Amino acid sequence: MTVDEEMHTHGGGSGRPGAGAAVRDLLAPLLGNGPLDVVDVGGGTGHSAVPLAALGHRVTVVDPSPDALATLERRAAEAGVGVRAVQGEAAGLEGAVGASAADLVLCHNVLQYVDDLDAAVGALVTALRPGGGLSLLVPGALAAVVHRAAAGRFEEARLLLADPGEGGRLPRRFTPESLLDLASAAGLAQPEVHGVRIFSDLLPGGPAESDPQAAESLRALEAAASAHPVLRSLAARLHLFARRPA
């Protein structure tokens, strides 16, 4: 099984590009630099962790659910790889794995639910070694507005536009600007924000579902638009990659 198959967290069996595949592509330069110590916070059943371990990386999954961790251990055993499973949450990461323990920390689809956002991000940074990378994947605020409006749920769209959830209401939704502010407050360096699934979730079933050439064109369009300063704001998911200063 490839990393693309396992990290394909959106898109099901269609030809549409998945969030996991897009994030994999964004992290590929780092993941290609030999075995890394990787901590996957909220990694659950191992959709990202197991294929990373199969590539030779040393992976620890920290998740609050014992059931998810049990599934992770079964999945890892079936794949013939070792993955360390630790029960815990983002804010308690130092107690779970220690300080300066990781070359790469993944925290995907978690921060929208944490009670104390600053504390959680601070813990993620503490777990990184100097020069290590932090990968955050969070829901985009404007995408939720657009999707509800497109479905005719106009009042919900208006309320989300007024309050995307960053002011304490959970789940939170983020903008590129709020992610960059978060990185700055945490003292992170070289932050980059990309949009993931800008167009795919807006498309009805059609050529991209059945035509491999159309699906490949859509993937190329998504990749080209991912860093566009306007279009990335419309993405279903926003990806931040930044480094702890060396």
Q: Structural domain boundaries of the chain?
A: 3-243
Task: Please state the rounded mean pLDDT for residues 111-136.
Answer: 95
When mean pLDDT is compared across 11-20, 57-66, 69-78, 219-228, the lowest value belongs to 11-20
Closest to 42 measured CA to CA, from 21, 19, 69: 69
| Six-digit token string for 50 | 């197991």
- Which residues 6+ apart lie within 8 Å of 135 measured at CB? 23, 26, 27, 104, 105, 106, 107, 108, 239, 240, 241
Superfamily of domain 3-243: Vaccinia Virus protein VP39 (3.40.50.150)
| More confidently predicted of 101 and 16 | 101
Mean pLDDT is highest, among 16-30, 120-134, 137-151, for 120-134
Greater confidence, 207 or 204? 204
pLDDT > 90 in the chain, percent: 68
Instruction: Choose the weakest-confidence range: 130-139, 164-173, 236-245.
Output: 164-173
Q: Flag whether pLDDT at 166 surpasses 90.
A: no
Burial class (CB in 10 A: 0-12, 13-18, 19+), 170: exposed
